[in-house]
Amino acid sequence: MPSEYTFTQRNELDSAFQVTYEGILRAYEEAGEDSSTAPDPTWVPEIIFFRAVDNETGELVRTTFYTEEWARQLNEGEITNTESAGNYYSTERWGPESELYDVEGFETVADNEFPQVYHNHTYPNNTTLAEEYGL
């Protein structure tokens, strides 16, 4: 992800990641566990961490994560696309290659802190990501 990508360009990549993950999860659920056509459920991770680096410099641009629970909630109509995107973007952190890295109010991350920086991410029920997923 080039560091100069606009929000729209970043959003297109983010949407592609989310839609792919949601589609894989949906395919498994629709096929049923006993079906010979169902994907292997162990292939669908409970959480996916995204690490975007500049494709020329290799420097960290930003990170975020997305959970199976959020994808499942969207697939089952419990939350809207906007709420799902809100969950995803609430975890966004900016790396040294981003113009937002030194801007006050934005969460930051160094390359060597990822993905451990998210272990203390707190959910509305006051549990952490580490507690929820055994990290």
Q: Report residue 42 as tokens.
A: 């162990």
Model confidence, pTM: 0.80
Q: From CA 109, how far away is CA 120, in angstroms rounded?
A: 14
Query: What per-residue confidence (pLDDT) applies to 53?
Result: 92
pLDDT in tens, 62-103: 999 999 888 889 888 899 988 988 888 999 999 999 988 999
Determine whether 30 is exposed, middle or buried from the number of CB atoms within 10 Å of its CB (0-12, 13-18, 19+).
Answer: exposed
Whether residue 38 is contained in a domain is answered as yes
Whether residue 77 is contained in a domain is answered as yes
What is residue 77's three-state secondary structure?
A: coil
Whether residue 2 is contained in a domain is answered as no
Q: Give the range of the structural domain holding residue 91, as residue numbers without chain letter.
A: 7-133
Whether 54 and 2 have beta carbons less than 8 Å apart is answered as: yes
Q: From CA 127, how far away is CA 105, in angstroms rounded?
A: 23
**CA quadruple 109, 113, 116, 117: dihedral positive or negative?**
negative
How many domains are contained in the chain?
1
Residue with the bigger pLDDT between 89 and 23: it is 89
| φ and ψ at residue 110, rounded to 5 degrees | -95, 155
pLDDT in tens, 27-59: 777 766 555 665 666 677 888 899 999 989 999
Whether residue 1 is contained in a domain is answered as no
Whether 98 and 62 have beta carbons less than 8 Å apart is answered as: yes
Query: What per-residue confidence (pLDDT) applies to 26?
Result: 76
Query: What per-residue confidence (pLDDT) applies to 5?
Result: 83
